[in-house]
Amino acid sequence: PITKNTPPLPINPYGKAKLAAEEAIRDFANSNPEFKAVILRYFNVYGSDPSGRLGEYPRPALRRYGRISGACFDAALGNIKELTIMGTNFPTPDGTCIRDYIHVTDLVNAHLVAKKALSNPPALFNIGTGKGISVKEFVEACKTVTGKPIKVKEQREARPGDYAAVYADPRKINTELGWYAQYTNVEESLRHAWEWRKAHPRGY
């Protein structure tokens, strides 16, 4: 798991950009003593508002680069002909990469709780469930939730810069701020997103 002491050594542009943003916040805080901030590190966000008020509808132009949940739903709705799993030769139990998926509502609550930790130098917290889920497990959950015969294409080669397993160790925010992820069941969280997506097939 990624802990608060894990050295930040990103291997892809996305990770490097996130680290650069953190450093910019720290630099600004260092030069402005009255400025206070808190830094949250989190991973794969998914789900929708459980009450159905808000959801995610990726622009069609971004479907190729979107979240796996959005790709699953696009395949279930027939917007794309198949769902591609990129990378099946990782050193993991089923060969696909493992990630920590965090429900968007949990993430919103983490931001609200983190306001209590605003400080200079900025505090740092990992936000996550503390457990990893493989891409294949995620896809199977999506099939169950949608009830659709999603066609899955397995691509042996992984995307450049993908780690085999990345998931958070959230114990610091658990103990210091009392925040815990509430939506840790993948099928339940996907169902929130799927219900919204079915009700909004063309977005808002």
Out of 14, 167, 180, 183, the active site residue is 14
What is the predicted pLDDT for the residue at 136?
Answer: 96
Q: Which residues contact 166 (CB under 8 A, 6 or more apart)?
A: 2, 43, 97, 98, 99, 100, 132
* Residue 149 preceded by cis peptide, ω within 30: no
> In this prediction, what percent of the chain has a pLDDT beyond 70?
97
Tokens of 82: 């198949």
Query: What are the tens digits of pLDDT across the range 18-56?
Result: 999 999 999 999 999 999 999 999 989 999 999 989 998
Alpha helices of 78-177 — where are they, by DSSP H?
A: 104-114, 135-146, 171-177
Secondary structure (3-state) at 44: strand
- Is there a contact between 190 and 145 (Cβ–Cβ < 8 Å)? yes
Q: Quote the mean pLDDT of the chain.
A: 91
What is the predicted pLDDT for the residue at 64?
Answer: 67
Q: Region 94-107: what's the mean pLDDT?
A: 96
What is the predicted pLDDT for the residue at 65?
Answer: 65
Higher-confidence position of 116 and 2 = 116
42 is an active site residue = no
Angle formed at CA 158 by CA 154 and CA 160, multiple of 5 degrees: 155
